[in-house]
Amino acid sequence: MQPVKHFLQLKDLAPDELDYLFERTRAIKSKFKSYQQYWPLQDRSLVMIFEKHSTRTRLSFEAGMNQLGGSAIYMHTRDSQLGRGESVEDAAKVISRMCDMVMIRTFEQDMIERFSQHSRVPVINGLTNEYHPCQILADIFTFVEKRGSIKGKTVAWIGDSNNVCNTWLQAAELLDFNMYVSTPPGFEVETDRAGVHGTAHFESFADPMQAVRGADLVTTDVWTSMGFESESENVERLKAFENWQVDAAMMGAASGDSLFMHCLPAHRGEEVAAEVIDGPQSVVWDEAENRLHTQKALMEFLVLGRVN
């Protein structure tokens, strides 16, 4: 039996598989835009297990699966037996006998690793404390749509070195581009946690204005991620981040045609100024929509393999 292919972090896909997914995304998006029915996953089902809130991830997976001819089942750990102490291993054995794919949004990466080891079907990371690989598929696809290949380009990350940042760092190694990262002191990238080999594809800057200089894309995320809220009760955390807001001055220091991205949800007036996220360089709505198209390509690939 072929080993099951999971998508637990971005580097579970090789660079040629990422290129293939982007090519499939283009084809699948074009069918969707011209109302062509495309049901490669007819009669297949996806179970979505959530342990944290979501708008985009739930909607894009559920709508995406329906559009591919399949169905999606929503479960929250709160009202499943997982929330009452059933082991992850037992849950994985049972759930994976009843569906064709599982998407999980949870806290520790270790939970989805353990789930995948006992799953008969592909497991997709819908966000953990460590990574958000589905987001970066959409972000890079959006960049490529707007600007062409990301190879050799520079992406500036401003703010917390969180799950989204870690995944960008993996992408830089896989697709050979540069990351300029600026975090407040005490919130720096941890290369082991990010799952990157070294610093060949990223550079750290104490001053966020230096990090954005000449960047082709400026991106950021909330100062406090889900699961870390107790830290934000700490006024000192908000204070620590106050100079890490992407504002018009920062965008002005980036390359003339620099794009702005944010995975959303956003906090205007914290990590990003309204004039930037609602301004002409922002592509956040295309970025959010592309979650749908890239994940459809991902699900097709995980269930059916390469179709062309």
**Nearest approach, Cβ of residue 280 and ligand NVA (Å):** 24
Amino acid sitting at position 4: V
Tokens of 94: 């049972």
Does 137 bind ligand CP (CB under 6 A)? Our answer is no
Helix 109-117 vs helix 88-95: angle between axes, to the nearest 10 degrees?
A: 50
Partner residues linked to 156 by β-bridges: 180, 218
**Binds 55: which of ligand NVA, ligand CP, none (CB < 5-8 Å by kind):** ligand CP
Cα distance from N-terminal residue to C-terminal residue, the chain: 22
Main-chain dihedrals φ then ψ at residue 263, nearest 5 degrees: -70, -20
Could you say whether residue 54 binds ligand CP (CB under 6 A)? yes
| Residues composing the chain | 308
Please say which residue, 151 or 268, places its beta carbon nearer to ligand NVA. 268
Work out what residue 27 binds among ligand NVA, ligand CP, none; the CB cut-off runs from 5 to 8 Å by kind.
none
Taking the least distance from each CB to ligand NVA, the nearer of 99 and 134 is 134
Cis peptide bond N-terminal to 265, omega within 30: yes
User: Which of residues 9 and 253 has its CB atom nearest to ligand CP in the complex?
Assistant: 9
Task: Give just the sign of the alpha carbon dihedral 282, 285, 288, 293.
Answer: negative
The single-letter code of the amino acid at 9 is Q
Q: Does 121 bind ligand CP (CB under 6 A)?
A: no
Residue 221: name the closest of 96, 80, 127, 153 by CA: 127
- 183 part of the interface to ligand CP, by CB under 6 A: no
Residues forming the active site: 105, 132, 135, 221, 263, 291
Count interface residues toward ligand CP (CB under 6 A): 8
C-beta of residue 57 within 8 angstroms of C-beta of residue 291: yes
Which chain residues interact with ligand NVA by CB under 6 A? 127, 162-164, 221-222, 225-226, 263
| Residue number closest to ligand CP, CB atom | 57
Give, as ranges, the residues between 262 and 281 that touch ligand CP (CB under 6 A).
Answer: 263-264
What's the rounded Cα separation, in Å, for the pair 267 and 263?
11
Residue placing its CB nearer to ligand NVA in the complex, 19 or 62: 62
Contacts of 56 (CB under 8 A, 6+ apart): 264, 288, 291
| Shortest Å distance, C-beta 168 to ligand CP | 13
107 near ligand CP (CB under 6 A) = no
Sheet of 202-204, strands arranged across: 202-204, 178-182, 154-158, 217-220, 259-262
Q: Which of 25, 57, 116, 154 binds ligand CP (CB under 6 A)?
A: 57
Kindly indicate which of the ranges 2-10, 54-62, 247-255, 292-300 contains the residues binding ligand CP, using the contact rule CB under 6 A.
54-62
72 counts as binding ligand CP under rule CB under 6 A: no
Q: Among ligand NVA, ligand CP, none, what binds residue 282 when CB lies within 5 to 8 Å by partner kind?
A: none
Taking every pair of C-alpha atoms in the chain, what is the biggest distance, in angstroms?
56
225 binds, among ligand CP, ligand NVA, none (CB under 5 to 8 A by kind): ligand NVA
Among the listed ranges 49-57, 86-94, 148-156, 180-188, the one in contact with ligand CP (CB under 6 A) is 49-57
Q: Does 91 bind ligand CP (CB under 6 A)?
A: no
Output DSSP code: residue 269.
Answer: T
- The binding site for ligand CP (CB under 6 A) comprises 54-57, 127, 135, 263-264
